[in-house]
Structure 1
Amino acid sequence: MLGSRTISFLFLFATIFSAVHGCPPSDRAALLAFKAALSEPYIGIFNSWKGNDCCHGWYGVQCDPVHRRVADINLHGISEEPIFQKAHRTGYMTGKISPEICKLSWLSSLTVAEWKGISGSIPACITSLPFLRHIDLTGNKISGELPADIGRLSRLVLLHVADNQIAGQIPRSLTNLTSLAHLDLRNNLIQGTIPSDIGKMKKLSRALLSRNRLQGLIPDSFSAIYRLLVLDLSFNRLSGSIPASLGKMSVLATLNLDGNNLSGTMPASLISSRISSLNVSRNAIEGPIPDAFGPSSYFTVLDLSYNKLKGSLPKSIGSASYIGHLDVSHNHLCGRIPAGPPFDHLDSSSFFANDCLCGKPLKPCR
């Protein structure tokens, strides 16, 4: 039989081992409160959330290896993991994100994405988590507004809240996120204007704001974001002219302004830029297509359709090194369509509904 001193030693050892190698009771309690606010009836991803050590075997939970604190919650409703494959379905979850999650003071990454049925708002207290780097809440039914103090998350690199029902305005503090690289607010109900000082976000590489209710001007300060690779402002209510400075950006490859109320003339800088996918369709842009093409012009997509463009197709367009898809339909263009590339591989839909364009692939010129 074991002596009392041995039993005491083993108990002390077990206590120390649990404290060092397991998650603290406060983190476990916060996770269980987070779980209690959600319901996932089909796959059973929360079935593993049992026992005292939330750092081992709890689906989607990872702990910091040094401090043994919960650092990552990764719950994605569309996954190739065995638990989803075995169920032969994607996930569906209802409920809300409990403010209890804010008690996970070492949390670095929060992904609760593509569950379709999660509603409620983003807890405002989330801005008090000092180590938070990733927030991905894409593909739910989250409503309310973005937290006003979101700019406090100085380490935030990724903010994805696309495909929800988030309303209100873009918080002024958002531009304080100077470490943010990926911003995805697509397909929400966000209104108001884009912050004029968005150029402060120097590390931004993708700014995806399409399919909201944004209005006002496109800030010229976008051009100060030297790492910006993709800018998508399509299907909003933006007005005014397109800033010429966007065409002078060194790495911008995709610019999508489709479906707004933009007016004025087409900046020549966009044609001579390094942009490879340019879409300004469905606006009210006037004047001629700038005669600014050259050997450095390389467009996989150039969509100028559904505007008020006039004049003829520019002569320099034949000098472009490549134009994969060209659409100038539904404008007021006239004159002969040039022969040769890039026109020889395009069909009539690229030129349809202009005032008096002619030549192959349209009717012959007289």
Structure 2
Amino acid sequence: MDAKKSLVTVLSNIVVLLLAGGATVVQACLPSDRAALLEFRSKLNEPYIGVFITWRGQDCCRGWYGVSCDPNTHRVSGITLRGESEDPIFQRAKRSGLMTGSISPAICKLTHLSNIIIADWKGVSGVIPSCISNLLFLRHIDLVGNRISGVVPADIGKLQYLKVLNLADNQLSGGIPWSITRLTSLSHLDLRNNYVTGAIPRDIGRLKMLSRVLLSGNKISGQIPESLTRIYRLVDLDLAMNRIAGPIPASLGGMSVLATLNLDGNLISGEIPETLLRSSISNLNLSGNLIAGRIPNTFGPRSYFTVLDLSRNRLQGPIPASITASSFIGHLDVSHNHLCGKIPTGSPFDHLEATSFAYNDCLCGKPLRNCGK
């Protein structure tokens, strides 16, 4: 009898293990997540590459292209669909094609999403579902390179874990929502090449983790917020081709790691702050503004520029002699100003062409005409 009881116990344990194993398989993809994915997919059309061919079967966590799941919770945690990819599924395609359609609000039913990447399809349109602000685990939103219109969701600031917000190269309009200043984990903000209007939020300096702020190619107005200069991690600041006015904050030149400052194509006035020319900035583009006064005579060994573009402004006076003390200047453009006097000799002027100095009042010397006695 003892042997029979032992055998029954062993068999019972095996049955329990098998049932547990079966439960794990079922949990690999919750039916509600699978249904939400299929509803999301129904609003998109991609006929050429076959991105959604693998979206079959009951287990959306295994083999569904671009879908990732949390191994602990068995919930869908990521959607990654890139239109320009090195993945073999794209390389095998006989011809590339556009994905069209829109982003369904059904995506908001995937409550454990941490990543949404629907990028570089050129044809995805519609609006960003406002309910996306309720996906509180989101860390990465990348919708670059589509035809998405509408506005940035007003409650985007609810996403406390968000690190990357890339909505560049779309057709978004409206202002930058003030709630964006609540995204204290944000390190990358890219809204380039849209139709965004209004001013940069005054308190954007609260986002201490930002390393890149890319807002060029919009219709942004107002002034450069002073608070931007308190983001000590900021490396790239691109505000080009907007309608920004007012002076350049001198404190931009005091930022310890700022390497790229693009302010070209705006309505910026005032003078060039001396601090910019002896800062950590190596790519400085101030062209196409209303900047007046003289070029500060404050260059020195710390001045290192791969690009220094001051063209198409209202600058007067000579090119400062201290510019030859710079450790390096790769590209210099001071054309289309009101500069006058002799062009300094030596580096970097020994490798620059006449176009770098053209359309000034009375500059002379190599590579322009000789100066008279």
**TM-score, normalising length: structure 1:** 0.96
Alignment of 1:4-23 (within 5 A): 12=19, 15-20=22-27, 22-23=28-29
SS at the partner of 1:237? Answer: coil
Give, in angstroms, the shift of residue 65 of structure 1. Answer: 1.2
Find out whether 1:191 has 2:197 as its counterpart: yes
Find out whether 1:158 has 2:164 as its counterpart: yes
SS at the partner of 1:112? Answer: strand
SS at the partner of 2:111? Answer: coil
Aligned to 2:98: 92
Find out whether 1:55 has 2:49 as its counterpart: no
User: CA 1:260 to 1:288, structure 2 compared with 1: closer, same or farther past 3 Å?
Assistant: same
Corresponding residue to 2:207 among 201, 205, 215:
201
* Contact 2:48-2:96 within 8 A present in 1 as well: no
Give, in angstroms, the shift of residue 327 of structure 1. Answer: 0.2
SS at the partner of 1:126? Answer: helix
Give, in angstroms, the shift of residue 18 of structure 1. Answer: 2.2
Segments ≥4 residues shifted beyond 3 Å: 8-15, 88-91
* Contact 1:75-1:112 within 8 A present in 2 as well: yes
SS at the partner of 1:107? Answer: coil
* Contact 1:78-1:90 within 8 A present in 2 as well: no
Give, in angstroms, the shift of residue 85 of structure 1. Answer: 0.7
Amino acid of the structure 1 residue aligned with 2:24: F
Find out whether 1:347 has 2:353 as its counterpart: yes
Corresponding residue to 1:277 among 280, 283, 293:
283
User: CA 1:10 to 1:248, structure 2 compared with 1: closer, same or farther past 3 Å?
Assistant: closer
Find out whether 1:317 has 2:323 as its counterpart: yes
Find out whether 1:42 has 2:35 as its counterpart: no
Amino acid of the structure 2 residue aligned with 1:30: A
Give, in angstroms, the shift of residue 110 of structure 1. Answer: 0.4
Q: CA RMSD in A?
A: 1.5
Corresponding residue to 1:177 among 156, 180, 183:
183
Show structure 1 runs of 5+ residues with no match.
none
Give, in angstroms, the shift of residue 339 of structure 1. Answer: 1.0
Amino acid of the structure 2 residue aligned with 1:17: T
Show structure 2 runs of 5+ residues with no match.
1-11
Amino acid of the structure 2 residue aligned with 1:335: G
Tell me how far apart the structure 1 counterparts of residues 169 and 95 of structure 2 sit (CA, whole Å). Answer: 20
Larger-Rg structure? 2
Corresponding residue to 1:147 among 142, 148, 153:
153
* Contact 1:78-1:91 within 8 A present in 2 as well: no
Find out whether 1:259 has 2:265 as its counterpart: yes
Aligned to 1:333: 339
Give, in angstroms, the shift of residue 10 of structure 1. Answer: 9.9
Tell me how far apart the structure 1 counterparts of residues 154 and 255 of structure 2 sit (CA, whole Å). Answer: 30
Give, in angstroms, the shift of residue 167 of structure 1. Answer: 0.4
Tell me how far apart the structure 2 counterparts of residues 348 and 173 of structure 1 sit (CA, whole Å). Answer: 48
Find out whether 1:295 has 2:317 as its counterpart: no
SS at the partner of 1:330? Answer: coil
Aligned residues: 360
Tell me how far apart the structure 2 counterparts of residues 281 and 53 of structure 1 sit (CA, whole Å). Answer: 55
User: CA 1:13 to 1:221, structure 2 compared with 1: closer, same or farther past 3 Å?
Assistant: closer
Alignment of 1:130-141 (within 5 A): 130-141=136-147
Corresponding residue to 2:125 among 116, 119, 123:
119
Aligned to 1:167: 173
Amino acid of the structure 2 residue aligned with 1:48: T
Aligned to 1:31: 37
Amino acid of the structure 1 residue aligned with 2:53: N
Give, in angstroms, the shift of residue 13 of structure 1. Answer: 5.4
**TM-score, normalising length: structure 2:** 0.94
